[in-house]
Each structure stands twice: as C-alpha cells, then as structure tokens.
Amino acid sequence: MDRKLFLQNSAILAGATILPTASAFSPNLEINVMDKLTDANCNFIQQSLPYAENFLEPYMDAETLHLHYTFHHGGAMKGANKDMENIRKAMDSNSFETVDYYTKKLAYHFSSHVMHSIFWTNLTNKKTAPAGKLLKDIEKDLGS
Ligand SMILES: [Fe+2]
C-alpha cells in the first residue's frame, strides 16, 4: 500500500473508530440526530441544537450558549472541513509534509466537533443527581 492510499484509508478509519460503539450521546437525543457528524458527502456538519438557546438558563444564559454553539463548535466544524480540503489538495500534489500538518489540525478540530456534539446532548436545565452504578462508583472510589 502506498503512502497516499494509506493516509486516505487512515483518515476514513480514524473518523469511523474515534467514537465508541456504546454511544456517548444521550439516548433521547440520538433520535434528533445530534450524533450525526457528517453529511452524505462526508462533510462535517453541525446539527441544530435540540433545544432553544435559553433552555439551559439559569445555568448557562442564552448569549453564552449562542456564542459557544455558533463560534466555538461551529468554528471547529468549519475548521475540520477546511483541514480535509487542505489534506486532499496536499495529497493530490504529493506534499506529505503538508498532509501531516493538516492532519494534526484536523485531529484538533474533529475532536472538538465530537466533544461539543456530545456536550450539547448531555446538558439539561433540570437538577439531577448521580444514581445507580455511577453513584455506587462515586461512593466506592471517592467516599460518600
Ligand atoms: Fe467549547
């Protein structure tokens, strides 16, 4: 396998294997496809929030949520798409040092995209407390 094909396959496998098989997304939000990170053309996409921007108040105000979602998460998603574009161009010109450079940038942007997508699905405006196995593990490992 030549280096170009290896890098091509590695990028695809990295995207497919970075997420655990047991989803980290909140199950009720998987229905809303918040966990879908790419479109049919393998471009990274940012799903709409599954709630209104003021949903998390008073814990996170609407302006903070808007800025975080739009510019932090949105920036990561746009950066990942730009990185992929630059990787493709570098591969087409056999510039493997440039491929390495943009692959590192892609790792940063893609992980931010994944982590933010998980983040949005695990927030609530209701007060909750650990229960079940999580509570038992906290008590076992950290005391009461
Ligand atoms: Fe963030």
Note the pLDDT of residue 130: 87
CATH number at residue 134: 1.10.287.990
**Mean pLDDT by groups of 10 residues along the chain of 144 residues:** 58 48 53 72 91 92 96 97 97 96 97 91 84 91 83
Domain count within the chain: 1
First-to-last C-alpha distance (Å) of the chain: 55
Rounded distance from Cα 96 to ligand 1 centre (Å) = 30
Rounded distance from Cα 123 to ligand 1 centre (Å) = 13
Rounded distance from Cα 81 to ligand 1 centre (Å) = 18
How far apart, in Å, are the Cα atoms of 70 and each of 29, 64, 108, 118, 121?
19, 10, 17, 15, 16
- β-partners of residue 38 are 44
Note the pLDDT of residue 65: 96
Note the pLDDT of residue 144: 62
Note the pLDDT of residue 19: 47
Say what the pTM is: 0.71
Range of the domain at 22: 3-142
Note the pLDDT of residue 35: 66
